[in-house]
Chains A and B, each alone.
Chain A
Amino acid sequence: MEEKVIVCKELTKRFGDFYAVDKISFDVSKGEIFGFLGANGAGKTTAMRILCGLSYPSSGDALVAGFSVRNQQESIKKNIGYMSQRFSLYENLSILENIEFFGGVYGVSRKEIKDRSYKLVGELGLQKEAKKMVGSLPLGWKQKLAFSVSIFHHPKIVFLDEPTGGVDPVTRRQFWDMIYDASASGITIFVTTHYMDEAEYCNRISVMVDGKMEALDTPGNLKTKYGSDSMEDVFYKLARAAKRTGD
């Protein structure tokens, strides 16, 4: 059997009588690219925050890299990378300084940081900008940098919350190349997106509707099951049933 890096059982997050996440259960295997889809307000970000140890579940449990989201959040945090919806590198630090800081707090040695950060900057084609403040970079470059920083310490899993929002198609394509490379090196990718072409790139996709997980399969199987020829159509058929309004 494949190694499971995320095992989620009836995970629930309740705010008052509102179920943001309602008993979702799923597994994610090592090295998999797992797409996490849903309309705005479907509960994707809430679920992801629980899996990252940023939020307590109301009931149910999940093991991330073998640690429980109920009481072992700090151990989870050592094993994951996280790239949030909002750009969250330090804008008033340079590219190299950001890599140094985040690499450092994840336990990468100073020597390794030094060696690898120059290599990384080279791969991103940002040699000239290495000492520039991150705030001055265009959005697409920022997102690629943020992704590189989030996997710099070789985490077991990386959580990407709408990483390509507002990014141009060419850069998005490059971004997905980077995701494939990371996946090939054994990092599990857990990604949310609103772009259906991106959903096609995933190994498996789950679709959340009103806090519940309505579908979970490979893109091909989902298309067959719903008799559609595109993911766009599958998503539309599922999300149309939603009673909650966006955001």
Chain B
Amino acid sequence: MRNLRFLLQKEFRQIFRDKIILAMMLGVPIIQLIIIPWAMNLNIKNINLSVVDNDHSTYSQQLITEIGSSGYFRIISADQSYRQALEHIENGSSDLIMELPDGFERNLIKEGRQTIGISVDAINGSRASIGRAYLGSVINDFNANLKINQVNLADTLTKTQGFIEITYSNWFNPHAEYKYFFVPGVLVLLLTMIGGFMTALNIVREKEVGTIEQINVTPIKKWEFILGKLIPFWIIGMILFSIGLCVIWGVYGITSTGSLPLLYVVAGIYMIALLGFGLLISTYCDNQIQAMFVAFFFILIFILMSGLFTSVQSMPPWAQYISEFTPVEHFIKIVRMIVLKGSGFYDVLTELGYISIFAIVLNGWAIWNYKKTS
């Protein structure tokens, strides 16, 4: 225990002395937390729409106005012909073409139906399908209003066609705001980067400089050395986590729906798992370039496969299987459960179990592989 106190004292002195590292560890994550969620916004807006109105009627104008005011579309051109509109798609200035045929208004009133043409630039698949769906829903609204108006006008009609209207209620994230889904994810991402890289690089640096040999020749015990490295970074990680929580509350107004102490317990265990991961890398690598490469490789996989940006459920089964083996996947799940849903201890128990297993295995492996005598 005595040795540990000397190790901690030394480690903190070194960390606080290196102003650049300190700034990188604390400042950059905060700034990223403020910037990234805006850039990573998957709520698709500003879809560029070209309109070909062959009817020039009240109804057609009404529909176009409604689409323009929906907030999702930017009507970039009103073209004379489909061919002309297609040019906008070809040069990339437009994502969608909506063509209203001649006789649009007349057919709607007289026959109660009209087909319109929509063409989609599908290069960016998700943008295209979301754009098409939005446009469909705006037209449906327009349709529904039309029916109501007609029913009102033709009061005498006794039989109205029954139609099913679907209304949505988004639970836990009422406005289906992407930020609510994403911001906790960015917080997790930052903890992951700090935890994974900092320990790995720190220990490998001691190898490079040669000070680790001086440590290995002292009576410091293996577990003392490892705890001496883990504890300072664990504390920094938790401080960072707290700052992150403040930032997402201040900037995005997101506060944890569930228990804050529970969130901290989970974050604490997750941090141990990740520090163990960094430690493990450091026991296998001899220089910082190797450590950086290996850590980057795994952290990239962790991040892309963990459901931080995408939904794990939409991955093919084998990818979902891999995803289970990333500690990040379990942690992000719990964070979203607690922060957005307000889940309690028993709800997150299974996932917490997984994280604990990661913590034990990674650290155990690292301690086993760190040798004072070779």
B3, B9, B214, B374: the one within 8 Å of A55 (CB): B374
Interface status of B17 (Cβ within 8 A of chain A): yes
Residues of B within 8 A of A78 (CB): 219
Interface status of A74 (Cβ within 8 A of chain B): yes
Interface status of A104 (Cβ within 8 A of chain B): yes
Residues of B within 8 A of A107 (CB): 2, 219
Given contacts A56-B373, A82-B217, contact A105 B209 (CB under 8 A): no
Give the docked Cα–Cα distance between A90 and B213 (Å): 12
Q: Is the CB of B10 within 8 A of A89?
A: no
Q: Is the CB of A97 within 8 A of B210?
A: no
B6, B13, B217: the one within 8 Å of A104 (CB): B6
Give the docked Cα–Cα distance between A56 and B209 (Å): 23
Chain B nearest CB from A207 CB (Å) reads: 25
Interface status of B129 (Cβ within 8 A of chain A): no
Q: Is the CB of A87 within 8 A of B373?
A: no
Residues of A within 8 A of B374 (CB): 54-56
6 A-B contact pairs sorted by A residue (CB < 8 Å): A54-B372, A87-B210, A88-B209, A90-B10, A93-B13, A93-B17
Residues of A within 8 A of B13 (CB): 93, 97
Please encode chain B, from 306 to 328, with 1 for each CB lying within 8 Å of some chain A CB and 0 for all others.
00000000000000000000000
Q: Report B348-374 residues with CB < 8 Å from chain A CB.
A: 372-374
Interface status of A100 (Cβ within 8 A of chain B): yes
Interface status of B150 (Cβ within 8 A of chain A): no
B3, B210, B373: the one within 8 Å of A105 (CB): B3
Residues of A within 8 A of B219 (CB): 74, 77-78, 105-107
Residue of B nearest to A86 (CB): B210
Classify the secondary structure of B's interface with A.
Answer: helix
Chain A nearest CB from B209 CB (Å) reads: 7
Give the docked Cα–Cα distance between A55 and B216 (Å): 10
Q: Report B5-53 residues with CB < 8 Å from chain A CB.
A: 5-7, 9-10, 13-14, 17-18
Chain A nearest CB from B180 CB (Å) reads: 42
Residues of B within 8 A of A97 (CB): 10, 13
Residues of A within 8 A of B58 (CB): none
Q: Is the CB of A53 within 8 A of B14?
A: no
Chain B nearest CB from A68 CB (Å) reads: 12
B2, B17, B218: the one within 8 Å of A77 (CB): B218
Give the docked Cα–Cα distance between A84 and B3 (Å): 22
Residue of B nearest to A94 (CB): B13
* Residues of B in contact, count (CB < 8 Å): 25
Residue of A nearest to B211 (CB): A88
Give the docked Cα–Cα distance between A56 and B217 (Å): 13
Interface status of A101 (Cβ within 8 A of chain B): yes
Cross-chain pair count, CB within 8 angstroms: 75
Chain A nearest CB from B228 CB (Å) reads: 10
Q: Is the CB of B373 within 8 A of A93?
A: no
Please encode chain A, from 80 to 122, with 1 for each CB lying within 8 Å of some chain B CB and 0 for all others.
1010101111111100010011101111000000000000000
Given contacts A73-B372, A104-B3, A105-B6, contact A92 B218 (CB under 8 A): no
Please encode chain A, from 7 to 49, with 1 for each CB lying within 8 Å of some chain B CB and 0 for all others.
0000000000000000000000000000000000000000000
Please encode chain B, from 202 to 241, with 1 for each CB lying within 8 Å of some chain A CB and 0 for all others.
0000000111011011111100000000000000000000
Chain B nearest CB from A122 CB (Å) reads: 23
Give the docked Cα–Cα distance between A52 and B374 (Å): 12
Residue of B nearest to A113 (CB): B6
Chain B nearest CB from A186 CB (Å) reads: 20
Residues of B within 8 A of A54 (CB): 213, 216-217, 372-374
Give the docked Cα–Cα distance between A159 and B239 (Å): 42
Residue of A nearest to B3 (CB): A105
Residues of B within 8 A of A88 (CB): 209-211, 213-214
Residues of A within 8 A of B211 (CB): 88-90
Given contacts A86-B210, A88-B214, contact A53 B220 (CB under 8 A): no
Most chain A Cβ neighbours within 10 Å, of B211, B213, B217: B217
Give the docked Cα–Cα distance between A77 and B6 (Å): 17
Apart from A74-B372, A107-B2, 14 more pairs, CB < 8 Å: A53-B373, A54-B213, A55-B373, A74-B221, A77-B218, A84-B213, A86-B209, A88-B209, A88-B213, A92-B17, A92-B18, A93-B14, A104-B5, A106-B218
Give the docked Cα–Cα distance between A90 and B18 (Å): 13
Give the docked Cα–Cα distance between A7 and B188 (Å): 56
Residues of A within 8 A of B210 (CB): 84, 86-88
Residues of A within 8 A of B373 (CB): 53-56, 73
Residues of A within 8 A of B216 (CB): 54
Give the docked Cα–Cα distance between A84 and B373 (Å): 15
Residue of B nearest to A97 (CB): B13
Residues of B within 8 A of A74 (CB): 219, 221, 372
Q: Is the CB of A105 within 8 A of B217?
A: no
Give the docked Cα–Cα distance between A52 and B373 (Å): 9
Q: Is the CB of A52 within 8 A of B217?
A: yes
Residues of A within 8 A of B10 (CB): 90, 93, 97, 101
Residue of B nearest to A82 (CB): B217
Q: Is the CB of B7 within 8 A of A105?
A: yes
Q: Is the CB of A101 within 8 A of B9?
A: yes
Residues of A within 8 A of B3 (CB): 104-105
Chain B nearest CB from A97 CB (Å) reads: 6
Given contacts A55-B374, A105-B3, A105-B219, contact A82 B14 (CB under 8 A): no
Residues of B within 8 A of A102 (CB): 214, 218
